[in-house]
Amino acid sequence: MEPAYTRATILELKWGSSAEHRKLARMAGMNALDIEYIAEICLSRHVMIIMRSPKRASRIFDGGLIDPKPPGVKEKTDRYTGTVERAVRRAVDPVTGKESVVTRTYISDYDLMSVWKGPGRPYAKLFFSETARGELSAEALSLLRELNQGLIRKIQHGANDDWLKDGKPRNPHIGFDSFIVWRVNGSVEFKPSKGMLQQFYRDNGLHWPY
């Protein structure tokens, strides 16, 4: 169970986040400020964003307790803590002469699943992965920059649905994850399982690549 007052909770209360968004944040392992910021962008840009929820345990580190994972850190997020350990330097004990690795801990970034353009069904996919030249499209790059300009925790790469090999996702292993959806109208929904996300795709006419 989450402590009564984490740094994320204090930030949310100070900012004036709604009770609904604070509840969603606890369920998704996020902070409500980021949830509200993404909702505003979806409303203004008429896009729907679907994201894999961060590990719920990582929320206790949110709000400045440890820094968000910066660009360039490629180490994988721990599946239990939602944090990333990166070796930053080696140190030698002056007495024993033993060498050790000094690490730095970061809170995980956000992982997109897919992005869709409204105003509603049928939705048009906004392809959100690097092209053969290693670049996002101008439209996707513009959205990514606007998102990262205001998010506390960042988005560092393209969408899982769009990172393909032979027409299939390179990372199909999403069975133990939960998800969060921001609709075009700014409303937010939590999907606690792969099955519920698959049903959401089906109900909204979205291509399900898994």
Token pair, residue 79, equals 């599946």
Look at residue 33 in the predicted model and tell me its pLDDT.
92
pLDDT at 52 over 70: yes
pLDDT at 23: 92
Q: Per mean pLDDT, which of 3-12, 129-138, 185-194 is the most reliable? A: 185-194
Q: pLDDT tens digit string along 14-36?
A: 878 899 999 999 999 899 999 99
| Res 200 pLDDT > 90 | yes
Average pLDDT, the chain: 85
pLDDT in tens, 173-183: 887 889 999 99
Spatial strand order in the sheet of 179-182: 124-125, 111-117, 47-52, 179-182, 188-191
* Mean pLDDT value of segment 2-17: 73
Confidence tier at 2 by pLDDT (50, 70, 90): low
Q: Mean per-residue pLDDT for 110-130?
A: 89
User: What's the confidence (pLDDT) of residue 88?
Assistant: 64
Residues 196 and 189: their CA atoms lie apart, in Å, by: 11
Q: Is 72 helix (H, G, I), strand (E, B) or coil?
A: coil
In terms of average pLDDT, the best of 56-60, 93-97, 135-139, 196-200 is: 196-200
**Residue 80 scores a pLDDT above 80:** no
- pLDDT over threshold 90, residue 114: yes
Residue 119 pLDDT > 70, yes or no?
yes
Measured distance CA(78)–CA(209) in Å, rounded: 25
Judged against a pLDDT cut of 80, whether residue 209 lies above it is answered with yes
Q: How far apart are CA 3 and CA 65, in angstroms?
A: 14
In the chain, the percentage of residues whose pLDDT exceeds 70 is: 88
The yes-or-no verdict on residue 100 having pLDDT over 80 is no
